[in-house]
């Protein structure tokens, strides 16, 4: 394979050098490579034929409309004059736009993008394509480039011998590269690009208007000629138009209609592209950024997109003069898009598996790399060829360089004027000072319901600034206008607690204009302030997950004090820490925050502030309110010298956080995404119910692949996967790197589970020390993906969180999601996968069989007898299987103890009434309800809670049964089956019976009666000291004076004390009733006896 690869690489280099020899002569002033050779002159001549055809059609149309229609056909002079005005009023701008699009240069690549002669010679001397790409990357460092090729290399034109600017392409017809090339149009004999795209749109627009005017005005005469009648007065003696006039009018109408339809279709398509800020080439092949392909990379919103082509002045939009924005080389990108220049790459960043450390915007101002924090999935690097559609994400950042960057930024901002910071912040926030904002059209009507409170708060804020009296009036007016306009435009009521004034005051210190202030304030609120920032809001649930992931001990301590993040972080998030931080400090923090272009960085700043004061929080002895005040005031203690450490630590913890934190919860900041329906979300992604940090299957597989192929050098989180499914499910297929920890073990054997958990942590440390593929400091627990079965898994996760284990996460969707993602390559992605044992494969097969049975149930009537027989045999078989574990236990007991003593199944218990004094049941024995560490019959009674008959489970309504008059109590519980499965259920108690209604998956109110027991058959109710909520009911039958245990049910009842007291009292009442009835029957028998 190495020989083949080397041969291919050698061929590429030879082709590359050959093309370079042909194309680089133009740079030395000798000659340009002529693709068409001597036929080039002929092509140039023939290329003008479509243009001449258009001009010829226009010339003929002018003759037909002016000289034939207006001068000959139309008899009324004023109508002819009106036609002339309309025609010439549209013809003139049409010809002007057509001239501009034909003669205007579409945009030449600047000379500083061309390679020098020495650079060309140096490239020709390189032997590998990789060396040439590295050489081009070095040259591109000084150029404002954010797009790249599909191979993640510099876009280089081999014919023109220069690096391609963003959105530029080479036109094979024109033989040159064109800035923002849209397409080559033969009808204008020119490329349509940056400099003439506006003229092309206007050419289409005025052509459509011209065709519309001609068609509309010619239509009545066309109809008249078609009917062979004139439009003039019938009594007129003037001659009617001849054949020549009639032919010109008819043909003019057909030409106008056909050209109008064609032009309208093309115009509508290009207007769609303009509204998306997209070219024709980009519509078919989206541009490639450092974060991957993004067809919306340059989409700034409909209005701003139009202004990019037609300019900011709306009055000039319809004038065929150049008013387009920019220089054709640098283009703004939409908010949240990663913009990384080659100038910002570290040495060695050419490795496609390494992300860039710094980025830039093309204006010469470098930006810290935001690839680590993009809210959209990142594709920085080549995807590994594994068939898993893995996305390679990396965040390699040198912390020393990070601190130096912060230091340099801080010193520069302190020494320069406010205008420097203003320009930078406007650049970071994508604020264009030439663009109109909502404030420009604000009517200055201050009629908000909260207007008086708003004006009062603005006045208090202005007093804090300490300006002169003359300036105070101006600042107060600007503040009120900005906030009032923002309230009306976004339909948000004003409140003092929303923190808007705290956000806008640091912006005022930059001495920006009123409109710049509004634009920056709006951008900050839209990008960096979380949505739903209210009590029990989603941002606070999300922050708690982050705190629990990195500092579970501190999170548990605050939870124990009932202090949730919304109690102390509300103003932090609403004001971006401006409410409790000095001006100089918050400006430096915002410098770094805005450069990151990561709104989630706010959470990591808050995390570092909390962790830094962990000791003070634990040592606080006062009430909870005082502790809240202590936490709220933490940012006020940050000084300027602490900013670099604060930001560096926040960045460190962001690197240690799974990327799913950004990808799955981006709706917290992205206002274009609706809040998801929480009822339809997996429990791992439901912020109000999530137990720990969620990790998606895609990220887990990507992490595993990176470790396997890169050797563990990536800084992204590495996961130690813990498979918590039962052993039979684990053996049916699992990840090769997964550690098996059966969650059922926690419920059955606590001591064994504790030993297994300790072994898990030891294995994790050994795997990390050995740099194993399975090693990782981040624990990722995986369940089956079924909510009811995964409740044990949640208990396991809670166990590790209680042990204050950091980096605890849970796989979203569990094994079911993993199985679905690897469905096309199960044998390669899963180890020991067995379709006959895999629960997902079996469920799919069962579903298919069920559908087949439903389809077959509508067959002929004569098959009913055989079906009933089959159902009967099925019931008998299931009954035999259900009793197999009990029979097996009895057989083992007989083999090990032939005398029969000590058998748990055949154990005979005396069941007496409390009134009996001699020889009655329960006398001298343990109570019906006992608590102990051991469960003597745990293994002996393997059958649980099914009806004794063979009838199918009865489907009932839970609410209806609870409302029955004979129901004396009902309790929510979970039913535990012998196979370890857990089912949500409701326990109902009457005077004589107890029922367990197992809830249906389809309807919360629908259930099946899984257990129906007579209270008189209850022999023993047991519980464990360590798990008092788990109750075991044992039932038996009477044999003379004794009872034999025959069956059992096991439940987890949250209200265990209330439930057992009620059941015990009812059992005793039933027992007393039975004893009384028995005594009565005995008395009657004695009365009837002759003795």
Q: Quickly count: other Cβ atoms within 10 Å of residue 1's Cβ.
A: 5
Nearest to 745 by CA among 720, 764, 724: 724
Sequence-separated (6 or more) residues with CB below 8 Å from residue 341: 141, 143, 144, 145, 146, 359, 360, 361, 362, 366
Please, which pLDDT band fits residue 40 given cuts at 50, 70 and 90?
low
Contact by Cβ (8 Å): 180, 170 = no
- Model confidence band, residue 947 (pLDDT cutoffs 50, 70, 90): very low
Q: How far apart are CA 569 and CA 717, in angstroms?
A: 27
Other CB atoms within 10 A of residue 23 CB:
18
* Integer Cα distance of 991 and 982 in angstroms: 27
Render pLDDT for 624-645 as a digit per residue (tens, 0 to 9): 889 999 999 999 989 988 898 8
Whether 315 contacts 217, CB under 8 Å: no
Work out whether the CA dihedral 569, 570, 574, 580 comes out positive or negative: negative
pLDDT at 179 over 70: yes
For residues 165 and 445, the model is more confident at: 165
Which residue has better confidence, 1003 or 287?
287
Decide which of 1046 and 346 is more confident. 1046
Q: How many residues does the chain have?
A: 1091
And the tokens for 542?
Answer: 């999300």
> The tokens of 53 are what?
């055809």
Cβ–Cβ < 8 Å for 1018, 1035: yes
Rounded to whole angstroms, how far apart are CA atoms 198 and 308? 10
Averaged pLDDT, 129-157: 81
Residue 500 in this model has a pLDDT that exceeds 50: yes
Greatest mean pLDDT range, 289-298, 417-426, 677-686, 960-969 = 960-969
Confidence tier at 673 by pLDDT (50, 70, 90): confident
Q: Taking residues 218-236, what's their average pLDDT?
A: 63
**d(Cα 14, Cα 47) in Å, to the nearest integer?**
34
Instruction: Express each pLDDT in 286-342 by its tens digit.
Output: 888 877 778 888 888 888 889 889 988 888 899 888 888 888 888 888 765 655 555
Q: Rounded to whole angstroms, what are the CA distances from 162 to 22, 108, 165, 708, 858?
A: 14, 12, 9, 38, 73
Q: Residue 987: what pLDDT?
A: 93
Q: Shortest CA distance to 506 belongs to which of 401, 379, 399, 591?
A: 591
1052: left (phi over 0), alpha (psi -120 to 50) or beta: beta
- Is the domain defined by 906-1085 classed in CATH 2.30.29.30? yes
952-960 average pLDDT score: 79
Give yes or no: 185 in active site.
Answer: yes
Token representation of residue 437: 């904002």
pLDDT at residue number 430: 87
Catalytic, out of 120, 160, 177, 185: 185
Q: Does the pLDDT at position 412 exceed 60?
A: no
Decide which of 798 and 249 is more confident. Answer: 798
Confirm if 394 and 353 have CB atoms less than 8 A apart. yes
What pLDDT, on a 0 to 100 scale, did the predictor assign at position 114?
A: 86
pLDDT of residue 384: 27
Mean pLDDT of 998-1010: 82
Q: Which residues contact 80 (CB under 8 A, 6 or more apart)?
A: 70, 71, 74
Helix (H, G, I), strand (E, B) or coil at 366: strand
User: Can you spell out the DSSP letters for 871-894?
Assistant: HHHHHHHHHHHHTHHHHHHHHHHH
Residue 544 clears pLDDT 90, i.e. is over it: yes
**Is 345 a residue whose pLDDT tops 80?**
no
pLDDT at 574: 92
To 5 degrees, how large is the angle CA 1077–CA 1081–CA 1082?
115
Q: Kindly list the domain boundaries of the chain, sorted by start residue.
A: 16-129+138-198, 402-433+448-527, 538-657, 684-844, 906-1085
> For residues 855 and 155, what is the distance between their CA atoms, to the nearest angstrom?
59
Alpha helix stretches (DSSP H) within 280-390: 280-284, 302-310
For the segment 857-865, the average pLDDT, to the nearest whole number, is 39
CATH level 3 topology of 538-657: Cyclin A; domain 1 (1.10.472)
pLDDT at residue 662 tops 80: yes
pLDDT for residue 628: 92
Do residues 592 and 368 make contact, with C-beta atoms less than 8 angstroms apart?
yes
pLDDT in the model for residue 970:
92
Instruction: Identify whether the C-beta of residue 509 lies closer than 8 Å to the C-beta of residue 473.
Output: no
For the cut 70, the answer to whether the pLDDT of residue 863 exceeds it is no
**CA–CA dist 424, 431 (Å, integer):** 10
Residue 34 banded pLDDT, cuts 50, 70, 90: very low
DSSP β-ladder status, 808-811 and 693-695: parallel
Could you tell me which of 158, 167, 162, 169 has the C-alpha nearest to residue 191?
Answer: 169
Q: pLDDT band at 838, cuts 50/70/90? A: confident
Most confident of 14-18, 755-759, 831-835, 887-891: 755-759
Q: What is the pLDDT of residue 341?
A: 59
pLDDT band at 5 (very low <50, low <70, confident <90, very high): very low
- Compute the mean pLDDT over every residue in the chain, rounded to the nearest whole number: 75
Class of domain 684-844: alpha beta
By CB atoms closer than 10 A (0-12, 13-18, 19+), residue 448 is middle
Read off the pLDDT band of 131 (50, 70, 90).
confident
More confident residue, 1041 or 472: 472
CB 409 within 8 A of CB 591: yes
Helix (H) or strand (E) holding 206: helix 197-226
pLDDT attached to residue 11 = 36
**Percent with pLDDT over 90 in the chain:** 20
| 392 against 107, higher pLDDT | 107
Would you call 482 helix, strand, or coil by DSSP? helix
C-alpha torsion angle, residues 292, 294, 298, 304 (rounded to 10): -150
Q: Is 1087 exposed, middle or buried (0-12, 13-18, 19+ CB in 10 A)?
A: exposed
Q: Is 407 or 250 the better-scoring residue by pLDDT?
A: 250
Mean of pLDDT values over 157-173: 87
**pLDDT surpasses 50 at 386:** no
CB atoms within 10 A of CB 728: 12
**Tokens 């078609």 map to which residue?**
226
Residues 901-944: tens digit of each pLDDT? 333 333 333 333 333 333 333 333 344 444 444 444 444 443 44
Alpha-carbon gap, residue 887 to 880, rounded angstroms: 10
Using the predicted structure, report yes or no on whether residue 136 has a pLDDT greater than 80.
yes
pTM above 0.75, yes or no: no
Question: Distance from first CA to last CA of the chain, Å, rounded?
Answer: 109
Q: Residue 1027: is its pLDDT beyond 50?
A: yes
pLDDT score recorded for residue 832: 86
pLDDT at 67 over 90: no
Q: What are phi and psi of 118, to 5 degrees?
A: -65, -40
What are the tokens at 158? 């081999």
- The beta strands (E) that lie in 1-124 are given as none
pLDDT in tens, 681-730: 888 888 888 899 999 998 988 887 665 544 444 567 889 999 999 888 89
Closest by CA to 696, choosing from 677, 709, 681, is 681
């Amino acid at each position: 394979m190495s020989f083949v690869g080397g041969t291919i690489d050698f061929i590429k280099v030879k082709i590359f050098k050959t093309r370079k020899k042909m194309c680089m002569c133009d740079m030395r002033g000798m000659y340009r490579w002529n693709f068409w050779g001597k036929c080039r002159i002929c092509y140039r001549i023939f290329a003008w034929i479509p243009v001449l055809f258009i001009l010829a059609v226009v010339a003929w149309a002018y003759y037909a409309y002016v000289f034939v229609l207006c001068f000959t056909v139309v008899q009324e002079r004023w109508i002819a004059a009106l036609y002339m005005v309309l025609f010439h009023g549209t013809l003139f701008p049409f010809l002007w736009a057509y001239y501009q699009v034909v003669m205007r240069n579409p945009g030449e690549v600047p000379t500083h993008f061309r390679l020098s002669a020495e650079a060309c010679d140096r490239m020709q001397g390189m032997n590998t394509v990789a060396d040439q790409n590295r050489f081009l990357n070095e040259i591109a460092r000084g150029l404002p480039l954010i797009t790249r090729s599909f191979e993640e290399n510099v876009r280089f034109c081999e014919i023109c011998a220069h690096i391609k600017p963003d959105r530029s392409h080479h036109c094979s017809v024109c033989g040159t590269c064109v800035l923002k090339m849209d397409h080559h149009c033969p009808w204008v004999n020119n490329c349509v690009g940056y400099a003439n795209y506006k003229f092309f749109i206007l050419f289409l627009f005025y052509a459509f208007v011209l065709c519309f005017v001609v068609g509309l005005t010619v239509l009545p005469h066309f109809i008249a000629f078609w009917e062979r009648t004139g439009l003039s007065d019938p009594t007129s003696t003037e001659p009617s138009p001849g054949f020549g006039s009639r032919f010109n009018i008819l043909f003019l109408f057909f030409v106008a209609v056909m050209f109008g339809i064609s032009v309208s279709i093309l115009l509508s398509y290009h207007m769609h592209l303009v509204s998306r800020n997209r070219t024709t080439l980009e519509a078919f092949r989206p541009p490639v950024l450092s974060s991957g392909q993004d067809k919306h990379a340059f989409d700034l919103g409909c209005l701003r997109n139009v202004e990019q082509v037609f300019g900011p002045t709306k009055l000039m939009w319809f004038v065929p003069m150049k008013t387009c924005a920019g220089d054709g080389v640098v283009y703004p990108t939409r908010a949240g898009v990663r913009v990384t220049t080659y100038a910002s790459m570290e040495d060695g960043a050419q490795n496609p598996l390494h992300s860039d450390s710094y980025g830039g915007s093309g204006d010469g101002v470098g930006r810290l790399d935001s690839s680590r924090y993009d809210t959209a999935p990142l594709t920085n690097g080549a995807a590994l060829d594994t068939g898993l559609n893995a996305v390679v994400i990396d965040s390699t950042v040198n912390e020393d360089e990070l601190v130096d960057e912060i230091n340099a930024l801080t010193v520069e901002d302190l020494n320069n004027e406010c205008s420097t910071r203003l320009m930078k912040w406007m650049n970071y926030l994508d604020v264009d000072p030439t663009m109109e904002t909502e404030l420009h059209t604000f009517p200055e009507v201050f009629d908000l319901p909260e207007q008086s409170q708003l004006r009062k708060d603005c006045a208090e804020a202005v007093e804090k600034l300490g300006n002169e009296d003359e300036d105070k009036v101006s600042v107060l007016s600007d503040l009120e206008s900005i906030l009032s306009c923002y309230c009306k435009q976004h339909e948000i009521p004003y409140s003092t607690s929303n923190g808007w004034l705290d956000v806008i005051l640091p912006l005022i210190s930059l001495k920006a204009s009123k409109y710049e202030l509004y634009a920056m304030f709006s951008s900050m609120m839209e990008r960096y302030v979380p949505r739903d920032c209210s009590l029990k809001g989603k941002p606070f649930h999300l922050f708690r997950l982050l705190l629990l992931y990195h500092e579970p001990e501190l999170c548990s301590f605050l939870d124990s004090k009932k202090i949730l993040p919304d109690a102390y972080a509300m103003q932090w998030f609403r004001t971006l820490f401006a409410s409790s931080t000095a001006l100089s400090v918050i400006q430096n923090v915002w410098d770094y925050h805005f450069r990151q272009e990561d709104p989630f960085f706010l959470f990591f700043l808050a995390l570092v502030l909390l962790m830094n004061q962990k000791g003070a929080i634990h040592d606080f002895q006062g009430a909870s309110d005082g502790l809240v005040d202590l936490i709220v005031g933490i940012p006020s203690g940050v000084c300027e010298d602490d900013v670099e450490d604060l930001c560096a630590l926040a960045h460190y913890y962001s690197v240690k956080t799974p990327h799913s934190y950004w990808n799955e919860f981006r709706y917290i900041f992205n206002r274009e995404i609706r809040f998801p329906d929480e009822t339809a979300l997996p429990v791992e992604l439901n912020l109000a119910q999530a137990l720990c940090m969620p990790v998606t299957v895609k990220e887990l597989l990507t992490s595993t692949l990176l470790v396997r192929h890169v050797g563990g050098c990536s800084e992204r989180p590495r996961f130690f996967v813990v498979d918590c499914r039962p052993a039979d499910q684990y053996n049916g297929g699992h990840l090769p790197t997964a550690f098996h920890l059966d969650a059922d073990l926690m419920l059955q054997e606590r001591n064994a589970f504790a030993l297994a958990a300790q072994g898990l942590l030891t294995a994790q440390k050994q795997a990390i020390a050995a740099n194993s593929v399975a090693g990782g400091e981040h624990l990722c627990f995986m369940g089956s993906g079924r909510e009811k079965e995964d409740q044990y898994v949640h208990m396991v996760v809670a166990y590790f969180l209680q042990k204050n284990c950091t980096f605890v996460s849970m796989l979203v969707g569990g094994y079911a999601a993993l199985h679905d993602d690897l469905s096309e390559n199960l044998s390669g992605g899963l180890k020991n996968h067995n379709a006959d044992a895999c629960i997902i494969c079996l469920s799919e097969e069962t579903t298919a069989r069920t559908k087949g049975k439903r389809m077959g149930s509508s067959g002929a009537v004569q098959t009913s007898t055989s079906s009933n027989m089959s159902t009967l045999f099925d019931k008998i078989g299931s009954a035999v299987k259900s009793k197999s574990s009990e029979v097996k236990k009895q057989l083992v007991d007989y083999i090990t103890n032939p005398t029969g003593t000590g058998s748990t199944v055949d154990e005979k218990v005396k069941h007496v009434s409390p009134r009996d004094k001699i020889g009655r049941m329960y006398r001298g024995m343990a109570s019906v309800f006992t608590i102990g560490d051991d469960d003597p019959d745990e293994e002996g009674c393997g059958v649980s809670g099914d009806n004794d008959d063979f009838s199918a489970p009865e489907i009932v309504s839970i609410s209806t049964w609870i409302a029955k008059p004979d129901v004396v109590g009902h309790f929510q519980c979970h039913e535990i089956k012998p196979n370890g499965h857990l089912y949500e259920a409701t326990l109902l108690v009457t005077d004589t019976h107890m029922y367990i209604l197992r809830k249906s998956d389809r309807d919360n109110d629908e259930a099946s009666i899984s257990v129906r027991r007579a209270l008189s058959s209850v022999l023993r109710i047991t519980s464990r000291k360590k798990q008092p909520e788990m109750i075991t009911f044992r039932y038996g039958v009477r044999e003379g004076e004794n009872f034999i245990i025959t069956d059992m049910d096991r439940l987890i009842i949250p209200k265990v004390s209330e439930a057992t007291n009620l059941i015990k009292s009812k059992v005793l009442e039933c027992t007393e009733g039975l004893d009384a009835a028995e005594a009565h029957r005995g008395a009657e028998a004695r009365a009837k006896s002759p003795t």
